Amino acid sequence: MSKTTYRRLQYELRTIEQEGLFKRERLITSPQAGEIRVSRNGREQSIVNLCANNYLGLANHPEIIAAAKAAMDEYGYGMASVRFICGTLDLHRKLERRIAEYLEMDDAILFAAAFDANGGVFEPLLTAEDAIVSDSLNHASIIDGIRLCKAKRYRFENNNMTHLEAQLEQAAAESPRTIVIATDGVFSMDGTIANIPQLRQLAYRFDALLLVDDCHATGVLGPQGKGTAAHFGLQADIITGTLGKSLGGAAGGFVAAAQPVVDMLRQRSRPYLFSNALPPMLAAGALKAIELSRAGDNLRLALRQNAQRFRKGLQQAGYRLLEGEHPIIPVMLDEARLAQELANRLYERGIYVTGFFYPVVPRGQARIRVQISAALTFEQLDKAIAAFAQAGRELGLIP
Ligand SMILES: *Cc1c(COP(=O)(O)O)cnc(C)c1O
């Protein structure tokens, strides 16, 4: 029995490899930064990093490290408990209050990851009497969270407000108690920003709650980096987010919302109830990261300037990019093999990017998703642009 299972898995793995869809992980031997060290054939080399979610460059910030170290000295290493048994520190509540204040919500609740926040946000709030209308390109964790809940599901084409309206009409026809519209603030594979003004308007019209997963937007978009809705001068009803990207890049997730929503999640959300409390050092690091993010207009300016420089360089080299203003810059290559091959050749030239292909993006839409960071210098960006141009010409991708 186990033998045939292992054989089947080996066969499937070989198929993945033959299709050029096999993901290999590279070994990093330094902190996350604009330039990192990697280990290759037993040798260490320095490489420009264009694939971290380190938008504000805080992943290796000395003040965050100092705050985390101080918290370890004061609170120890771990809590060895879930929050409701004996795992809630004053530090956790301080962070939850701070997140709520930052995002202008009543309260917030921490999770081990945004994956857990999205996995645990729907089921406690909604039952079979309710409805969720979800964007087709939403993050895997939202899709899983919706699967775990009994509400009726409706899906609308990515950022297509006409289709959303039609789906809302269908949902409303069944007279659900509650309708939730769920969207990513920024779609991670395309860098597109959700149409919050229209989402907000439709939410009001259908008396729905608007849930925005702002993992790629907190710290990046809006005044003080308050996120996608704030970018448009608006507000969502529920924001889910991560401490693993702009806000220091360690780990942790949260839901920020109105008081009854947060209170109910604290009572009923399974990833919250049945998983360990966030380590104190991460809570302290995140508190510092929020402070730096709020005051980080200079970082957001550097981020924007870096992204503009890189976009212009690649367009001039002849690459096809998806349009946008977010520091996610998708370089479209269509075929998985080309995305892999270009990533390999860039790696040889000291540029670290990752190819994305099915099942992460639809078949035939393989790409290299470049992510710009405020930590990158113009010199590093120009080196990357030159490497893209050379490697692209070698592969016949550009003239
Ligand atoms: C990264 C990401 C997540 C998961 O965040 P973690 O904290 O790493 O679990 C969820 N949703 C979106 C849109 C993301 O980009």
For residue 188, the ligand 1 atom closest to its alpha carbon is 15
Whole-number pLDDT of residue 23: 85
Strands 27-28 and 35-40, sheet pairing: antiparallel
Query: How many Å apart are CA 80 and CA 35, to the nearest integer?
Result: 35
Structure confidence by residue, pLDDT tens digits, 228-261: 999 999 999 999 999 999 999 999 999 999 999 9
Structure confidence by residue, pLDDT tens digits, 270-324: 999 999 999 999 999 999 999 999 999 999 999 999 999 999 999 999 999 999 9
What are the C-alpha distances in Å from 153 to residues 131, 184, 327? 6, 16, 31
* Sheet with 355-356, side-by-side order of all strands: 328-334, 366-371, 355-356
Instruction: For ligand 1, say whether the CB of 225 is within 6 Å of any of its atoms.
Output: no
| Residues contacting 4, CB < 8 A, separation 6+ | none
Q: Are 281 and 72 in contact (CB under 8 A)?
A: yes
- DSSP letter, residue 24: -
Q: Are 108 and 269 in contact (CB under 8 A)?
A: no
Whole-number pLDDT of residue 52: 97
Say which amino acid occupies 125.
Answer: L
Structure confidence by residue, pLDDT tens digits, 117-137: 999 999 999 999 999 999 999
245 classed as catalytic: yes
Question: The tokens 């993992």 sit on which residue?
Answer: 215
Q: Which residue of 51, 115, 247 sits with most ligand 1 atoms within 8 Å of its CB, as the best mutation to test the pocket?
A: 115
Whole-number pLDDT of residue 49: 98
Query: How many Å apart are CA 305 and CA 298, to the nearest integer?
Result: 11
Query: How many Å apart are CA 58 and CA 254, to the nearest integer?
Result: 19
* Closest CA to ligand 1's atom 6: 114
> Residue 284: which H helix or E strand, with range?
helix 280-294
| Residues contacting 31, CB < 8 A, separation 6+ | 59, 60
Say which amino acid occupies 188.
Answer: S
216 classed as catalytic: yes
Strands 328-334 and 355-356, sheet pairing: unpaired
Q: Which residue of 245, 255, 360, 371 sits with most ligand 1 atoms within 8 Å of its CB, as the best mutation to test the pocket?
A: 245
Catalytic residue among 245, 269, 288, 293: 245
70 pLDDT band, cuts 50/70/90, is: very high
Centre of ligand 1 from the C-alpha of residue 186, in Å: 11
Checking if the pLDDT of 21 tops 90, the result is no
Whole-number pLDDT of residue 107: 98
Structure confidence by residue, pLDDT tens digits, 180-219: 999 999 999 999 999 999 999 999 999 999 999 999 999 9
How many CA atoms are closer than 13 Å to the CA of 47, on its beta-carbon side?
A: 29
Whole-number pLDDT of residue 22: 85
Query: How many Å apart are CA 297 and CA 306, to the nearest integer?
Result: 14
Q: Which residue of 142, 158, 242, 278 sits with most ligand 1 atoms within 8 Å of its CB, as the best mutation to test the pocket?
A: 242
Count other Cβ atoms within 10 Å, centred on residue 255: 30
In total, the chain counts a number of residues equal to 399
Centre of ligand 1 from the C-alpha of residue 113, in Å: 7
Whole-number pLDDT of residue 1: 75
| Backbone phi, psi, residue 366, to 5° | -60, 150
